[in-house]
Amino acid sequence: MANSDQDINIVQLLKTDVNRAFRLLVEKYSSKLYWHIRRLVILHEDADDALQNTFISAWRNIRKFRSDSSLYTWLYAIATNEALTLINHRKRNAAVSLDDIGSILANSVEGSTWFDGDEAQIKLQNAILQLPDKQRIVFNLKYFDEMTYEDMSKVLNTSEGALKASFHHAVKKIEKMLGED
Amino acid sequence: MMGKMNDIKGNNPFRVPEKYFEEVNNKILSSTTGAENESMKKGLYFRLRPFLAVAASVAVLIIISYTATKLFRPVPYSTGILSEISLQEFTDSYLNEIDILTLEQNANPAVISGPVTGLSKLEIIDYLLLENIDENEIFELL
């Protein structure tokens, strides 16, 4: 992915019209970042909060953005941090297990309204929820977002080798869990 | 097994409310770029407010000073109405207004009632006769 032509244009526009550049950035990335966050936090209302916090944080720091960096990895890094902050907060205050999608959805007023998965999808989501947070993020970024290891290393500030190993272990665990059912 | 996972991957089980992305984009923009535009407008006003207050005070002081100067400054003679009247005009009009008797009363009575020097009795009699004064009266007076 790195820097697409559109991202280069947005970065150039930041120097002359930051409001318009930010509008283009929101329009391009809000959906992608929402789904990345949603797969980590599961609930729509949590994803909605984290997404808005992501862009507010991006707006506060947009003037410090270095033009030689990638908007794509920068935004994913912010979104991932916001999602992890929310997950950690929820873990501290949770009265129910957060390793099971049924418990998470049942613990929310509107949880089941915005989830429409069949049995296989629920199994996959439960398997992903069993992974440690870092491994879960690596798995989601590679499996759903199809992010390259190069970009992922910038998002998570981790070496590509470590990320490859992490993804490999995640897949093995999920395959095992799906195979057990 | 990865093939089975890929089959599941194709179907996103998560849902969002209708028009969610449109609405959330507007919400994000109004709380970022929109909020900054508003705060810039407000900020400009609040930053300029002390200067505006000082400017307004100075303007009020200038107006008050100018008005006071105009109202209370004494009118200079060079520009007053009297300068337009010549001394001759003033004297003539002034004298016309005063009763001639007042002048006679104010005049030195010694000049009138005292002996008239330089004129002989005969000259005075001639003058009085020319004025049709009765001879008897002239002789009584003289």
Using CB atoms, which residue from A19, A39, A144 is nearest to B33?
A19
Handedness of CA A121, A123, A128, A129 (dihedral sign): positive
> What's the token pair of residue B112?
């009138």
Which residues in chain B have Cβ-Cβ distances shorter than 8 Å to A56?
28, 31-32
Could A118 and B1 be called an inter-chain contact, meaning their C-beta atoms sit closer than 8 Å?
no
Q: Which of A30, A38, A122 sits opposite B28 (nearest CB)?
A: A30
d(CA B56, CA B61): 9
Residue B86 DSSP SS3: coil
- Residue A63 pLDDT level (bands cut at 50, 70, 90): confident
User: pLDDT value at position B92?
Assistant: 61
For residues A37-66, give the mean pLDDT.
93
Query: What is the end-to-end Cα distance of chain A in Å, rounded?
Result: 36
Is the CB of B57 inside 8 Å of chain A's CB atoms?
no
What is the structure's pLDDT at B7?
67
Across the interface, whether the CB atoms of A114 and B17 are under 8 A apart is answered yes
CA distance A24 to A12: 12
| pLDDT tens figures, B22-31 | 999 999 999 9
B15 vs A56, A116, A175: nearest CB: A116
Token pair for A108: 């929310």
Residues in chain A with CB shorter than 8 Å from the CB of B27 are 52
Q: What is the mean pLDDT of residues A151-169?
A: 96
Inform me whether the C-beta atom of residue B87 falls under 8 Å from chain A C-beta atoms. Answer: no
Query: Torsion over CA of B27, B31, B35 and B37, rounded to 10 degrees?
Result: -60
Element (H, E) at A68: none
Q: Which of A27, A123, A34 is nearest to A83 (CA)?
A: A34
Angle at A10 between CA A7 and CA A15, to 5 degrees: 135
- pLDDT tens, residue by residue, A82-110: 999 998 888 887 666 666 666 776 666 56
- Distances in Å between the Cα of B126 and the Cα atoms of A1, A57, B76, B117, B129 are 144, 130, 57, 16, 5
| Mean residue pLDDT across chain A | 88
Chain A nearest CA to B27, separation (Å) = 8
- Under a CB-based contact definition with an 8 Å cutoff, are residues A178 and A124 in contact? yes
Q: Is B76 helix (H, G, I), strand (E, B) or coil?
A: coil
| pLDDT for B10 | 67
Q: What CA–CA distance (Å, rounded) separates A76 from A25?
A: 12
Residue A175 to residue B1, Cβ atoms within 8 A: yes
Nearest to A40 by CA among A97, A98, A93: A98
Given this model, what pLDDT does residue B112 score?
A: 46
Tell me what the mean pLDDT of segment B86-93 comes to: 60
| Contact assignment for B14 to A35 by CB distance below 8 Å | yes
Least confident of A144-148, B44-48, B56-60, B92-96: B92-96
**What is the interface pTM, i.e. ipTM, of the complex?**
0.84
**A30 → closest Cβ in B5, B8, B21:** B21
CB-based burial of residue A158 (10 Å sphere; 0-12 exposed, 13-18 middle, 19+ buried)?
middle
pLDDT value for B78: 52
Taking the whole predicted model, whether its pTM rises above 0.80 is answered as: no
SS3 B53: helix
